Structure 1
């Protein structure tokens, strides 16, 4: 075979949180893989997502904890001083360390298993690299991820308009940032920057907040977090211009008068688009929807009628690292087994926002309940919960959902203390199919945050006693 042609059983396009597990599944099956990456290795999670954002959030939390000490009777001689350059130096150093672990794993792969190049389809089963080489693959996994959407409205700002990918290369903290969007990224980064002394304003075009669907939990979250975020909901941006090194943005709410403010940076967090256009999918026989995205079976991740599989953020499902990894494993297994493709079991869904207080959803939350008359909702107000009051973290609301017919636990939404840990316990209960009475028969230690879960479960159970 020509040295201009690379032959493989499975080509995996994208070496991120989905592509790497897919590669490992193909190797495990004894087939010949080719892992293709046209950009830097290290995964989006490690480079610009989960890990560097949590480093910034951890720095902000340390400041919040010091300011919180006064409530315990602990007097600080002076307010904490934030050294923005030192904060960002640690973020970059630790970020690079996490990225290095991933890069080391990739570099340890056999060289014949890797192609560091951008590729595009020539036809079904054939990809062309930038140097003209062709990859002939019997099956293909597409795991190219997403990139931030930059609306045309903000393009006149030039380098003052940034996305979350840009934040973690800062050498220092800016004085002011406008955050566009109050989804997970907007809330997490907006709150972290605010606590680190940056003047923050968050604009959102609707009344949504951190993807919360339960109206009572959403209202509680907005009430608790909006002051630090200077949140403006239902905002219509009317004007955007650059004046020197400042962005000048004007907006109005419900047709009211226009407000105008100046910012050092405008952080756009209003969505991400799948990286598909460079692949030239139109050259294949893959069925595409009206947006040019492959039509696929969410249960198997297979593109309809094709030995092609999607994995990770490119699917448009939950853009979360552990979901992307699960996708990668499933796509890799099915690609290796094709045409014996199977729908593999999925884990119970959960989502966490690392705000303070934290936010979480389990089982799709309130939006997945269906007929509200068939569901009992139990809740706990954290202001009266013992352990959280001891720690001066007694704020927020937990709501749990139970199907009345069989008392099956269906999911939950929450803003409050230790939501990341509460989410795990409830997701485990959901995946194992527990009823609310089953859950109430399990142990709850005193005094703990977990006792708040019991209070909410008891509230739901009483409604069908």
Structure 2
């Protein structure tokens, strides 16, 4: 039985960051991964294939818009195989960075299998293969949550785990779930040629987002997608010619829909059920692992990162957590995790960017002393020249001008809003962004205009106008 300084269970973003980071400091590392190649959900069934599909769909949508603008018309159906090939090529290219042999070259022993705890230090990979870890990192990620719907298990349905293996485009698609994954894939398939219907339990989209931002995106997506709000799916059954029939209640009324395919996008479930955590004494809150600020579980030498935690189920958050675990598990430090400055992006077109508090959250915590600064993208010259004026930037500050939240809907918002992340993280007030020289015309001018709003309000309401009034009165 081999002994390691660090054993990492799971080869996704968080696990790879921890394993590679620790190996650089000449400690012995083992990585246990259930797939033949590491990379995790993000590479194989999540971020990478979805963004490749979104890019292919966006290219087609842009071509149609451009042709129409010049009086032309694209009449042929698009080849879905081209989009499929782009997805597979993106996965293959990025896989090279996470190849198991490259990890071995870095000094990491890679095991293929499902790690299970035998006790607080022993991990079984199979019945006859057990390794010992002085310290252990749980990074097993998550999988698609499948709701309990009568008849669902009796029909073929899609999740993010197999939708990218689909080699033919369904002519019609029902999507159950309207979170970020559901919206991104719904729009992509609609642009590629599917008739898409999205089943939404609530009255609006994206309740975690700022109300103004979510409303703006909902209005834009409603031009491309058929949303069924206030809808609960009650039953699914097979129909003729391989189609699926969906029974639901919409605002109390029974409805029946049919489609060629069904995509389940109803959230994620952490992969903790097969770890035998109880044998190690690791406590959970439901299916999520409980950790402290240093990412230690209830067993001090066992850490957890990524989707097995409740906090932030994003690849970039898992990478951040992996770095913290290296410092704590390898060097015995007590670095603490903070999600205060971690943004996220919903990769619809236009994109939705989220950082920090929404206006509703800021008012609950700070009252009416907050500042709210909005800029519509039709006020920004670069978006006007691009003919991409649908969108909004919204910044929330405290009474001193410190950024509490930054939100946007707009083409490429995930890129040009990064300046707000820097400003917030390094405690620059919103007004400081107006003092940064931005090239003209640039998309980031939207953020600069919000900053200029802040200065204009300060000049009208702050100490300077009061001083000027006193000066004028004295001079007279």
Same fold (TM over 0.5): yes
Q: Quick check: 1:252 aligned with 2:249?
A: yes
Q: Quick check: 1:48 aligned with 2:54?
A: no
Indicate if the aligned counterparts of 1:157 and 1:242 stay in contact, CA closer than 8 A.
no
Give the counterpart of 2:429 among 408, 420, 435. Answer: 435
Q: Which moved more, 1:361-370 or 1:192-201?
A: 361-370
Query: Which residue in the other structure is 1:415 paired with?
Result: 409
Query: Which residue in the other structure is 1:16 paired with?
Result: 12
Give the counterpart of 1:151 among 134, 147, 150. Answer: 147
Q: Quick check: 1:354 aligned with 2:347?
A: yes
CA deviation vs aligned residue, 1:200-227 (integer Å, no higher than 9, x gap): 0111112342455321221111111123
Q: Quick check: 1:383 aligned with 2:375?
A: no
Query: Which residue in the other structure is 2:330 paired with?
Result: 336
| Cα distance in 1, alignment partners of residues 76 and 442 from structure 2 | 30
TM score, norm. by length of structure 1: 0.91
Indicate if the aligned counterparts of 2:117 and 2:275 stay in contact, CA closer than 8 A.
yes
Give RMSD over aligned pairs: 2.2
Q: Which moved more, 1:279-288 or 1:205-214?
A: 205-214
Q: Quick check: 1:226 aligned with 2:219?
A: no
Deviation of 1:365 (Å): 3.8
| Cα distance in 1, alignment partners of residues 73 and 414 from structure 2 | 33
| Cα distance in 1, alignment partners of residues 346 and 287 from structure 2 | 31
Indicate if the aligned counterparts of 1:6 and 1:133 stay in contact, CA closer than 8 A.
no
Give the counterpart of 1:268 among 264, 268, 281. Answer: 264
Deviation of 1:187 (Å): 0.9
Query: Which residue in the other structure is 2:179 paired with?
Result: 183
SS of equivalent to 1:236 = strand
| Cα distance in 2, alignment partners of residues 346 and 212 from structure 1 | 15
| Cα distance in 2, alignment partners of residues 159 and 336 from structure 1 | 48
| Cα distance in 1, alignment partners of residues 143 and 164 from structure 2 | 16
CA deviation vs aligned residue, 1:62-98 (integer Å, no higher than 9, x gap): 1111122156x42325335311123213322332332
Indicate if the aligned counterparts of 2:8 and 2:30 stay in contact, CA closer than 8 A.
yes
SS of equivalent to 1:69 = helix
**Structure 1, unpaired ranges of 5+:** none
Query: Which residue in the other structure is 1:78 paired with?
Result: 74
Indicate if the aligned counterparts of 1:21 and 1:325 stay in contact, CA closer than 8 A.
yes
Indicate if the aligned counterparts of 1:349 and 1:364 stay in contact, CA closer than 8 A.
no
| Cα distance in 1, alignment partners of residues 94 and 426 from structure 2 | 33
Query: Which residue in the other structure is 1:162 paired with?
Result: 158
Specify whether residues 342 and 216 from structure 1 end up closer, same or farther in structure 2 by C-alpha distance, changes over 3 A only.
closer
Indicate if the aligned counterparts of 1:400 and 1:460 stay in contact, CA closer than 8 A.
no
SS of equivalent to 2:117 = strand
**Structure 2, unpaired ranges of 5+:** 462-476
Specify whether residues 252 and 81 from structure 1 end up closer, same or farther in structure 2 by C-alpha distance, changes over 3 A only.
same
- The correspondence of residues 77-226 of structure 1 with structure 2, limited to 5 A, is 77-79=73-75, 81-103=77-99, 106=102, 108-109=104-105, 113-153=109-149, 156=152, 158=154, 160-210=156-206, 212-226=208-222
TM score, norm. by length of structure 2: 0.89
Deviation of 1:189 (Å): 0.6
CA deviation vs aligned residue, 1:70-127 (integer Å, no higher than 9, x gap): 56x4232533531112321332233233224322554543687222221211111111
Specify whether residues 159 and 423 from structure 1 end up closer, same or farther in structure 2 by C-alpha distance, changes over 3 A only.
farther
| Cα distance in 1, alignment partners of residues 191 and 341 from structure 2 | 33
Indicate if the aligned counterparts of 2:150 and 2:235 stay in contact, CA closer than 8 A.
no
Q: Quick check: 1:327 aligned with 2:321?
A: yes
- The correspondence of residues 59-70 of structure 1 with structure 2, limited to 5 A, is 59-70=56-67
Specify whether residues 89 and 32 from structure 1 end up closer, same or farther in structure 2 by C-alpha distance, changes over 3 A only.
same
Indicate if the aligned counterparts of 2:143 and 2:270 stay in contact, CA closer than 8 A.
yes
Specify whether residues 293 and 225 from structure 1 end up closer, same or farther in structure 2 by C-alpha distance, changes over 3 A only.
closer
Specify whether residues 379 and 175 from structure 1 end up closer, same or farther in structure 2 by C-alpha distance, changes over 3 A only.
same
| Cα distance in 2, alignment partners of residues 462 and 164 from structure 1 | 47
SS of equivalent to 2:71 = coil
- Structure ID, larger Rg: 2
Indicate if the aligned counterparts of 2:37 and 2:100 stay in contact, CA closer than 8 A.
no
Query: Which residue in the other structure is 2:469 paired with?
Result: none
Specify whether residues 76 and 372 from structure 1 end up closer, same or farther in structure 2 by C-alpha distance, changes over 3 A only.
farther
Q: Which moved more, 1:382-391 or 1:306-315?
A: 382-391
Deviation of 1:238 (Å): 2.9
